[in-house]
Structure 1
């Protein structure tokens, strides 16, 4: 009896045979759907990755093959409820605390002092937007840097908005809980000030302290939308390592829309792997992948 139960459990959890794969037509349909909603290109080289991630959605919807899943989505009315899950599954969310640390040096040494020098008296209120926030590591890194400066200078307050297209990853960002190893890049002093360790040593998790979380909010946003429900007086926008997934016209369009939300003299920070795009845009390069609206 025990062996029969074990066999049943094994059959329920066993992976699908390698022979089950997306047809050319179904891969193209998924690529066009994701590209149309997000601007992200899914070339043929991403096919294995797409299959691996869609397989989880296939099981969640009770479908037994990729063909059945795609029929459910595209012909049987499943698209309305499945498109968000599909985008969550396929989009890549790679980020780290203090990733590309030179940007946070620029934030500390140049951007914040420049913004404060242009404030009109009283306590300044800086606004920073992490436009592809993923799991929140970038937004909370910015918050740590600004909180550290504010505690010493007491000349400004700050708020940070993190946005992303993935609803699943935004839920993780709001929870602000990370594996202890994941926060290794955070300087030791900042770890002591801004991280709480789990009461269960076996959990090996940390959480951002409430005092810092109060400065950070998260919102769902699709960079492909024609307009963004974001304030128009942002001091700095971080959009790093995202444009590489878009074609050139989409890159220019997205950056153009972002610039509508910067204050005069505001800053745009791109990933180090992303070259300057759109020579006609009103941007002056100040440092590698750091630009000022002029």
Structure 2
């Protein structure tokens, strides 16, 4: 279901993230990095017994991750990989009696990594195309936002229809990559200028391209765009957002035992209060989906 909640979501997230403004995003305080969770997480044998035998024997959960997608998964000032997804998956691994091992790569390596079996799972946005290859467990609401330089004249821009004739930055291999290509074709079909779209290997590259005015705007996940805009408010702002999707761990189709075991572990973390504590810690409690549906996109 499409849900537009621009002012409320933007205001709530910017306030809750509490990020200090800084010209260099890498130097600012990171949301939640100095807060410890207090809910105790332990092995639940009944859930661990749901695992495929080969993973239980291996003793590890292989997870693909990125390091610039705050507050879901990012590197903090101490060089540690942290964030909602990272800490939630680590806790779920504990419930399953496993050790979570994270491999940090660029986003475009995540989907082929899970598809090839290199990773047991990785965080992805849920959409119909991805559901052909993966089962995706939704752990938080998401969507897309237009990150603009403060010199950009437009406000409240619809990323699907309002960027004809503009230079736009996006992260390589993401849904944004495909969406902007389709949007540009629609611009031309309607007699407008095509979108001048450029891709970068990570979200930090998109933010830098917009800040340096190499591109007029960038299209990023809502939580990511708001974080970068708040960290560098002298140069960046959010010029429109649409909450229309969900995100979470993607597991290759056919791995039903792993999917069900991991889903049960996540649901246990909801029941004991760890999930809500973690989402609150990173300032995105309003984006919670405690039901954690599988393949939510329709």
Q: TM-score, normalised by structure 1?
A: 0.32
Q: Which has the larger radius of gyration?
A: 1
**Bigger helix share:** 1
Q: Which has the higher contact order (CA 8 A, sep 6+)?
A: 2
